[in-house]
């Protein structure tokens, strides 16, 4: 049994706290929001974010950060990506040398273009930072439905330790040294999912969805390889695996926000309707900036940005993508 803390009591943090408890570990679940802590302690259920999933009484729910971080074998950082830096900064003085922090959020910081693990390492340099990602909607993990994920770490020892804590009959975990590739796949797929949802909102069909997923992974792979990621990571669980589920699932907040935009909602109206952080909106500008920095063509990402931030209509964006200059999928031999 390990002593594990989960920082962030949203749907994903809560689901992972339950998973880790069911695996036999001693779990603390932390939220910065006092009202959320009181509600979870009273109802033992996150009715708005994870309805129908009961939180075992043995899981300690608190807003005491010192209690959450002191004498813990592992800390899971599960706050939404826009709050990764501020939360890491508040944790810095309480994290011991070499303490393992596993980031499970997905995003890229817009103004610095840093991945979330880079942010954590900058704010908490003494931490041993790892990442966990893959096709894993909280609604299904919380109910014990099977899935597979990948953990990335700097050493095999750290990755296999985390693998052992999380792995169980309903949560299979692979390991990888490619932290960068895992994070890029997890962040960029949210932008593509906005496009897939928008196509759904426009009334497009399964063919359109399949095309967006396929060309979306091509964009993600081009950028990832240019930045130094391994191509197999981006066609693995944290790349195409997470992309498929985020583009297709009823649980996907990014797909839902895109769907509403396709129906005529503004970006802000869609985010208000979803009532949770839509990570793809926060990663879209960063994805576009990275494509330009590394001189990588990412037309879907570019059109998503125009729809989100330049008032371009989804119909115009779709036509723009369909009528781009003709291309080869596989290069012809000269």
Place of tokens 């570990």: 25
Q: What percent of the chain has pLDDT over 90?
A: 90
pLDDT at 277 over 80: no
The confidence score (pLDDT) of residue 226 equals 98
In this structure, what CATH number is given to the domain that contains residue 193?
1.10.1040.10
Q: Which of 49, 189, 221, 306 is catalytic?
A: 189
Pick from 8, 5, 7: nearest CA to 276: 8
Q: Is residue 333 part of a domain?
A: no
Binned at pLDDT 50, 70 and 90, residue 278 comes out as confident
Give me the number of domains the chain comprises.
2
Q: Are residues 55 and 111 in the same domain?
A: yes
Q: Is residue 331 part of a domain?
A: no
Binned at pLDDT 50, 70 and 90, residue 310 comes out as very high
Catalytic, 189? Answer yes
The SS3 assignment for 6 reads: strand
Q: Are residues 143 and 266 in the same domain?
A: no
Q: Is residue 260 part of a domain?
A: yes
Mind listing the pLDDT tens digit for each residue in 178-196? 999 999 999 999 999 999 9
The SS3 assignment for 233 reads: helix
Q: Are residues 247 and 299 in the same domain?
A: yes
Boundaries of domain holding 15 = 3-177
The confidence score (pLDDT) of residue 220 equals 97
The confidence score (pLDDT) of residue 274 equals 86
In this structure, what CATH number is given to the domain that contains residue 158?
3.40.50.720
DSSP collapsed to 3 states, 95-135:
CCCCCEEEECCCCECCCCCCEHHHHHHHHCCCCEEEEEECC
Pairing of strands 74-77, 100-103: parallel
Give the burial class of 4: count Cβ atoms within 10 A of its Cβ; 0-12 exposed, 13-18 middle, 19 or more buried: buried
Eight-state DSSP code of residue 173: E
Lateral strand order in the sheet of 3-7: 60-62, 26-30, 3-7, 74-77, 100-103, 128-133, 147-152, 171-176
Q: Are residues 80 and 27 in the same domain?
A: yes
Pick from 87, 136, 106, 321: nearest CA to 219: 321
Long-range contacts of the stretch 228-234 (C-beta < 8 A, 24+): 228/180, 229/178, 229/180, 229/181, 229/184, 230/178, 230/181, 233/150, 233/176, 233/178, 233/181, 233/182, 233/185, 234/181, 234/184, 234/185
pLDDT at 276 over 80: no
The confidence score (pLDDT) of residue 7 equals 98
């Amino acid at each position: 049994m390990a002593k594990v803390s989960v920082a962030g009591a949203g749907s994903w943090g809560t689901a992972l706290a339950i998973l880790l408890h069911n695996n036999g570990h001693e779990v603390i679940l932390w939220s910065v929001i006092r009202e959320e802590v009181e509600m979870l302690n009273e109802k033992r259920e996150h009715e708005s974010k994870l309805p129908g999933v009961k939180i075992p009484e043995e899981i300690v729910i608190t807003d005491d950060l010192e209690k959450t971080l002191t004498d813990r074998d592992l800390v899971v950082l599960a706050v939404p990506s826009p709050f990764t830096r501020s939360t890491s900064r508040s944790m810095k003085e309480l994290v011991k040398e070499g303490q393992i922090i596993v980031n499970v959020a997905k995003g890229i910081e817009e103004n610095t273009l840093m991945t979330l693990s880079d942010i954590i390492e900058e704010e908490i340099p003494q931490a041993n930072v790892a990442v966990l990602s893959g096709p894993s909607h909280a609604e299904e993990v919380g109910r014990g439905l099977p899935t597979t994920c990948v953990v990335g770490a700097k050493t095999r020892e750290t990755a296999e330790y985390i693998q052992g804590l999380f792995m169980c009959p309903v949560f299979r975990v692979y390991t990888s040294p490619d932290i960068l590739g895992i994070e890029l796949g997890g962040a960029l797929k949210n932008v593509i999912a906005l496009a897939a949802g928008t196509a759904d909102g426009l009334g497009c069909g399964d063919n359109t969805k399949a095309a967006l997923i396929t060309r979306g992974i091509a964009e993600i792979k081009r950028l990832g390889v240019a930045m130094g990621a391994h191509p197999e990571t981006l066609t693995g669980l944290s790349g195409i695996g997470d992309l498929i589920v985020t583009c297709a699932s009823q649980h996907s907040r990014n797909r839902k926000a895109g769907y509403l935009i396709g129906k005529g909602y503004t970006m802000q109206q869609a985010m208000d309707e979803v009532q949770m952080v839509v990570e793809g909106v926060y990663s879209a500008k960063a994805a576009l900036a990275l494509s330009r920095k590394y001189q990588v063509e990412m037309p879907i990402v570019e059109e998503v940005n125009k729809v989100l931030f330049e008032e371009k209509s989804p119909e115009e964006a779709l036509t723009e993508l369909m009528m781009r200059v003709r291309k080869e999928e596989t290069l012809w031999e000269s």
